[in-house]
Copies of this chain bind each other. A is one copy, B any other.
Amino acid sequence: MRPSGRAPDQLRKVSLEPGFSRHAEGSCLVKFGDTHVLCTASVDERVPPWMRNSGKGWVTAEYGMLPRSTHTRTDREAARGKQSGRTQEIQRLIGRALRAVVNMPAMGERQINIDCDVLQADGGTRTASITGSWVALHFAFERLIKEGKLAANPMTGQVAAVSCGLWEGTAEDKPFSEPQFMELLVLAKKGIVELTHLQRLAIGKA
């Protein structure tokens, strides 16, 4: 059994707190155990030139860690003058995950910027970010409906993410076999079922 005392198929304590941010159209503070991520969704009606008259919208994401969200302090990316490869990889993943469940023509010619900022890190920040961002994005669309700018929510499904101990950590120097992969897939699906249930609770539709 792992140091944390959790069973292999047991998620850390998860909480989703929508409306954490006063200014953002949608927001959610997500906690996966000691990992805390503030997810906000910001609507931008001024679309970039290449999007004009396309009849489609866009969802994009950025990710960052507060310098002392980590056990020892990490250099501030703004001070170093560039985002690390890790940061870029994660924010691209978040954007792709969310775009997979949004009907782009239905959201209209506008862009939604997702920001995932890690206030405290204890592993699994990318999965927490995806899970919390979905909630923030949902509320941003609801706001657009309330303002009469959208007739219906353009989200076509839910997206949540869970790691099974192989995405981060020791996986690199020890690939896993196909049966192991299938076993992990079962574990992951169990976790996803729990997370999507919590997401529905968070948006008041459980």
Q: Which residues of A contact B (CB under 8 A)?
A: 21-24, 27, 34, 38, 40, 42, 44, 62, 64, 66-73, 76-79, 81-83, 85-89, 91-92, 96, 99-104, 113, 115, 117, 119-120, 122, 157, 171-175
Contact = CB atoms under 8 A, between A and B. Distances in A.
A43 to B, nearest CB: 9
B104 A173 contact: yes
A62 B69 contact: no
B88 A78 contact: no
Contacts of A81: 81-82
Given A42-B68, A67-B113, A79 B89 contact: no
Nearest to A136: B68
A127 to B, nearest CB: 17
A115 B67 CA distance: 7
Contact of A76 (B24, B64, B173, B175): B64
A78 B64 contact: yes
B78 A82 contact: yes
9 contacts: A21-B69, A22-B34, A23-B72, A67-B117, A73-B113, A85-B92, A100-B173, A100-B174, A102-B173
